[in-house]
Structure 1
Amino acid sequence: MNKIEATLKMKCPRCHEGDLFTTKNHFSWQKLTKMHENCPKCNLRYERESGFFYGAMYISSIINMVFFVAATIAYYVYFDERVDWRIYIWSYVLFTVLITPFIYRLSRSIWLEIFNDYKPQIE
């Protein structure tokens, strides 16, 4: 498994086997933010220090900006005068609300990948 695949599947950045989150369901509202403290496979501590994941907010903002720019370009290229701009705005707000749980988790996964190297365990 390569780094991109491990990041998208939200696996441990060191061993690419252990899960980052306690549940794989992005819409489990009670467990949306629940992460394992350590990797279940290689015991890597995920949160290095208090506030470590504040940096993931920058990643989340970048992902949201990319989606917004892509959606705006698509709107002007395909729907410019045929669809009212208010429909575009409200549909984009709905889209953002629906993908927020995935973006939240993905940004944490990317943030961990930035600060950890892949080191497979040799048995």
Structure 2
Amino acid sequence: MAPIASDAAALLALRCPRCHEGALFSHPAYRLTKFADMPAACSVCGQAFEPEPGFYFGAMFVSYAFSVAIFAITTVALYFLAGDPALWVYIVGVGAAATACTPLALRYSRALMLYWFGGVHYQPERAHRPAPAAHA
């Protein structure tokens, strides 16, 4: 796979901030028991994904912002699409949306922390390059 040239596209694809190739997470988001598992380092360039102990505690604040956005969007959508339903519909709807979006909110909050505060920048020379084919 070729590395992604843009930092924003690599972040959205949840790829390593240094080589833009290695996956940040070990399992897909739908594996609910393992959606938060991250390898210790990038499988392509060897970049450590936890720059210091407790680094991802700051991701709680980013995750909180995602949760507020999910709550607001769900509430406004229910108000306009369901015609201001009963209170229990808001509670169930917001709770279901927040629960369904938890794996993605956690993943993207960790990725944002690593990209913004991890001190790692894209280095195209670190990307995996296939070996040249031998001539027959």
**TM-score between both structures, scaled by the size of structure 2:** 0.79
Task: Choose 1 or 2 for highest CA Rg.
Answer: 2
Pairwise CA RMSD of aligned residues? 1.8
2:23 and 2:42 in contact (8 A); partners too: yes
Shift of 1:22: 1.1
2:75 and 2:94 in contact (8 A); partners too: no
- The equivalent residue for 1:107 is 109
Match status 1:117 vs 2:116: no
- The equivalent residue for 1:66 is 69
Shift of 1:73: 2.8
Among residues 92, 95, 98, which one is paired with 2:97 in the alignment?
95
Shift of 1:75: 3.4
User: Which amino acid counterpart does residue 31 of structure 2 have in structure 1?
Assistant: S
Q: Which residues of structure 1 form unaligned runs of 5+?
A: none
Shift of 1:12: 0.3
**TM-score between both structures, scaled by the size of structure 1:** 0.86
Q: Deviations over 1:76-101 (max 9, x none)?
A: 444444x2121022111011111111
Q: Higher relative CO (CA 8 A, sep ≥ 6), structure 1 or 2? A: 1
Among residues 6, 27, 36, which one is paired with 2:30 in the alignment?
27
Match status 1:75 vs 2:95: no
- The equivalent residue for 1:16 is 20
Greater CA deviation, 5-14 or 113-122? 113-122
Secondary structure of 2:51 counterpart: coil
CA separation in 1, counterparts of 2:22 and 2:72? 34
Q: Which residues of structure 2 form unaligned runs of 5+?
A: 130-136
